[in-house]
A and B are shown apart, each in its own frame.
Chain A
Amino acid sequence: RKEVEQDPGPFNVPEGATVAFNCTYSNSASQSFFWYRQDCRKEPKLLMSVYSSGNEDGRFTAQLNRASQYISLLIRDSKLSDSATYLCVVHSSNDYKLSFGAGTTVTVRA
């Protein structure tokens, strides 16, 4: 079983729509959670950290559910520039590496 699993999508949404997707993680000892964004053939970049209480950054909202071991990302009022692959990333306290999901692709159309 993969440590981090994501629905690969693609999620095709019109501009202005809301899109949401989850990822699940298998290691209950995981401590830190992140969403990274990767544009086509480019390097991943940190989008936002995910806190236990949930957090927002502009149009982006991240939620963590430790009991069910999943993380979600919601994008409101989608823009064309939001088209990208979103990587779910998990860090465990018992080792030093980040575990990356394979990514969820979002395409926002005009």
Chain B
Amino acid sequence: DADVTQTPRNRITKTGKRIMLECSQTKGHDRMYWYRQDPGLGLRLIYYSFDVKDINKGEISDGYSVSRQAQAKFSLSLESAIPNQTALYFCATSGVSSHEQYFGPGTRLTVT
């Protein structure tokens, strides 16, 4: 089984809808991250969490919120989806002393 899983893998939704992307990990890592990837822009950090009680905004947090339900779970919500949130979303984890991040398989989100 994969160490980092994301659900759903693909989602098409309409403008204005609320949507949640979920991430689970079995690596036992404290640190978890949400990124979006757009062509030509690279991965951009949306939110990150260093433990269950720690939530931090990344460089592009507007329009997004997160919840760290447990060490193993970190969900990303789009409160009111808009078309420019169409992107590939990745969840990642890392250990406390490691900068190596382990990524989930990604969620391809399309907002129409």
Chain A residues proximal to chain B, CB less than 8 Å: 2, 4, 8, 32, 34, 41-46, 49, 87, 91, 96-98, 100-103
27 A-B pairs with CB atoms under 8 Å apart are A4-B42, A8-B40, A34-B99, A34-B100, A41-B88, A41-B106, A41-B108, A43-B90, A43-B104, A43-B105, A43-B106, A44-B43, A45-B103, A46-B101, A87-B42, A91-B99, A96-B48, A97-B45, A97-B58, A98-B45, A98-B99, A98-B101, A100-B42, A101-B42, A102-B41, A102-B42, A103-B42
Residue B64 lies at the interface, judged by CB distance under 8 Å to chain A: no
Q: A44 vs B103: C-alpha distance in the bound complex, in angstroms?
A: 6
Query: Considering the complex of A and B, which 9 residue pairs feature the smallest CB-CB distances, nearest first?
Result: A43-B103, A102-B42, A100-B43, A100-B42, A46-B100, A91-B99, A97-B45, A32-B99, A44-B103
The interface bits of chain B over 43-67 (1 if a CB of A lies within 8 angstroms of the residue's CB, else 0) are 1110010100000101100000000
**Set of chain A residues within 8 Å of B56, measured between Cβ atoms:** 96
Closest A residue by C-beta to B31: A96
Q: A34-B99, A96-B48, A98-B99 are in contact. Are A87 and B105 (CB under 8 A)?
A: no
Chain B residues proximal to chain A, CB less than 8 Å: 35, 40-45, 48, 50, 56, 58-59, 88, 90, 99-101, 103-106, 108
**Set of chain A residues within 8 Å of B43, measured between Cβ atoms:** 44, 87, 100
Counting chain A CB atoms within 10 Å of each CB, which of B40, B59, B100, B108 scores highest? B100
Cβ of A35 to closest chain B Cβ, rounded Å? 12
